[in-house]
A and B are shown apart, each in its own frame.
Chain A
Amino acid sequence: NSKVIQTPRYLVKGQGQKAKMRCIPEKGHPVVFWYQQNKNNEFKFLINFQNQEVLQQIDMTEKRFSAECPSNSPCSLEIQSSEAGDSALYLCASSPGTGGYEQYFGPGTRLTVL
């Protein structure tokens, strides 16, 4: 069973508001991923980190999202100005390494933007 912790489990925001969610990766996993799963259950990779450094991020994440994984603190993903289309399940996953390692997913934060 995954030991990735995500908070909060549910988040409701108005359009234009900031939305922030947190993730504690499994102990010993230096690589953290954020994914968005929409209402059609489709996944979109957002950003990943190895320790505190960004490995890869998509354009959307660069523009409206900010994310960080500080040492000795939870990782976080924040939407600067929420839009209705951001309503989705945000999944954090951690992994022992890059490449062919299994990613262990947390329970997710379900964001609803009204």
Chain B
Amino acid sequence: GDSVTQTEGLVTLTEGLPVMLNCTYQTIYSNPFLFWYVQHLNESPRLLLKSFTDNKRTEHQGFHATLHKSSSSFHLQKSSAQLSDSALYYCALNNYAQGLTFGLGTRVSVFP
């Protein structure tokens, strides 16, 4: 079945520094949909970015990611982290009518 592997555990960084969360995936389908969801404390997940186009950069709220099918990757980046970026980040994929397959999540803590 499908699987998603992302940067594990906790990422701590100082406000203003760049952040990069890795995401790689495995699927038998040639045209998967890739997502990044963010979940703040005591909230439900919400979509941050999505893509299904190879080698096209997608951006939202200062975050960006590019789907690279050649390496099965969809890394999340931001040039300057803010305190409000502290949250759980999930990389996920699906194919057509299927539910999302999530990675295990990465907790990001941004300190002043």
Interface residue ranges, A against B (CB under 8 Å): 2, 33, 35, 40-43, 45-48, 50, 55-56, 91, 98-100, 102-108
Contacts and interface: CB of A to CB of B under 8 A. Distances in A.
Contacts of A46: 99
Contact of B101 (A45, A100, A106): A45
Given A50-B97, A98-B97, A99-B96, A43 B102 contact: yes
25 contacts: A41-B39, A41-B105, A42-B104, A43-B92, A45-B98, A45-B99, A45-B100, A46-B99, A48-B97, A48-B98, A50-B97, A55-B97, A56-B97, A56-B99, A91-B44, A99-B33, A99-B96, A100-B52, A102-B47, A102-B50, A103-B100, A104-B46, A105-B46, A106-B44, A107-B43
Nearest to A45: B99
Contact of A99 (B43, B45, B92, B97): B97
Interface of B: 33, 35, 39, 43-47, 50, 52, 88, 90, 92, 94-102, 104-105
Contacts of B104: 40, 42
Nearest to A46: B99
A89 to B, nearest CB: 9
B44 A43 contact: no
Please list the 7 inter-chain residue pairs (A to B) with the smallest Cβ-Cβ separation, ordered nearest first: A45-B99, A105-B44, A43-B102, A100-B33, A98-B97, A102-B47, A55-B97
Nearest to B42: A107
A33 B99 contact: yes
A104 B45 CA distance: 8
A55 B100 CA distance: 13
A105 B46 CA distance: 7
A107 B97 contact: no
Contact of B90 (A43, A48, A102): A43
Contacts of B90: 43
A56 B57 CA distance: 31
